[in-house]
């Protein structure tokens, strides 16, 4: 019998080494829907429930940062109907959850090329960021219209501008200066990167930041991923021997 969720939660809390930052590539909504002979948008809608589950699970486990890959730059190339279904879901998620997220102490950040969002989606994003600005329990990074390489190009442009303006010397460019120009500036790097649906790819997500993250591939499709699955991933992380290129202590 699998361990009950509450016992698993107690065990990962007692262990103590809960990842400070978990990043998730939410994958498999389309296949989940196809298995049920339903349209892809139905899979995305069910995926929204899983988002709620992992936010609550992260709060309960004592995770400080949660990063979710909600919409990639490449996703703009999906059929117009699917893109608009995803954007409507984002607006719906914010309309439904913003007040509760604020009340739970979640602070939402939204990262990516937001200039491509429709005015209603951009307004929803602004609203959730403003309404949750005082949250201190969990930082929730939503990556929308995001690509890891584009983020590095953006940071490089900022560095070049700072050098040209005389604010930064070439020799002063180091890892910290690069990290400080990423969307995630001020946020610790992910300790654990989860990808659902069995795929073993980074798909251009947080390329710089996951340098030392532990990878966890779940065979579940995203809509089936719940807080119990999150605790399983954390328990697995706690069995890892993280060496950061050094030898074990």
d(CA 246, CA 249): 9
d(CA 34, CA 245): 42
Least separation in angstroms between residue 151's CB and ligand FPP is: 18
Least separation in angstroms between residue 45's CB and ligand FPP is: 7
Residues in the site for ligand FPP, rule: CB under 6 A? 26-31, 44, 47-48, 51, 68, 70, 75, 86, 89-90, 93, 142, 222
Closer residue to ligand FPP in complex, CB, 132/159: 132
Closer residue to ligand FPP in complex, CB, 52/181: 52
Least separation in angstroms between residue 239's CB and ligand FPP is: 28
- Nearest residue relative to ligand FPP (C-beta): 30
d(CA 115, CA 73): 12
Least separation in angstroms between residue 245's CB and ligand FPP is: 32
Mind telling me the catalytic residues? 27, 75
Least separation in angstroms between residue 132's CB and ligand FPP is: 14
Closer residue to ligand FPP in complex, CB, 93/109: 93
Closer residue to ligand FPP in complex, CB, 28/190: 28
Closer residue to ligand FPP in complex, CB, 51/210: 51
65-72, strands of its sheet edge to edge:
106-111, 138-146, 65-72, 21-25, 192-195, 214-217
């Amino acid at each position: 019998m699998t361990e009950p969720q509450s016992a698993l939660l107690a065990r990962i809390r007692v262990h103590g080494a809960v990842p400070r930052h978990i990043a998730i590539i939410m994958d498999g909504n389309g296949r989940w829907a196809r298995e049920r002979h339903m349209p892809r948008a139905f899979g995305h809608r069910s995926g929204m429930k899983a988002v709620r589950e992992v936010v609550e699970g992260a709060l309960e486990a004592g995770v400080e940062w949660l990063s979710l890959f909600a919409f990639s730059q490449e996703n703009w190339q999906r059929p117009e109907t699917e893109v608009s279904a995803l954007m409507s879901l984002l607006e719906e998620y914010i309309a439904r959850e913003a007040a509760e997220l604020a009340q739970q102490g979640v602070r939402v950040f939204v990262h990516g090329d937001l200039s491509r969002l429709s005015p209603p989606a951009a307004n929803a994003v602004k609203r959730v960021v403003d309404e949750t600005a005082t949250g201190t329990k969990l930082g929730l990074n939503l990556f929308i219209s995001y690509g890891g390489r584009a983020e590095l190009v953006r940071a490089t442009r900022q560095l070049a501008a700072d050098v040209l303006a005389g604010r930064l010397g070439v020799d002063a460019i180091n890892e910290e200066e690069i990290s400080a120009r990423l969307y995630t500036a001020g946020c610790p790097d992910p300790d654990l990167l989860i990808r659902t649906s069995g795929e073993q790819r980074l798909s251009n997500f947080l390329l710089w930041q996951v340098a030392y993250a532990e990878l966890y591939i779940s065979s579940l499709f995203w809509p089936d991923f719940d807080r119990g699955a999150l605790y399983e991933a954390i328990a697995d992380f706690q069995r890892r021997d993280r060496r950061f290129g050094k030898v074990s202590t």
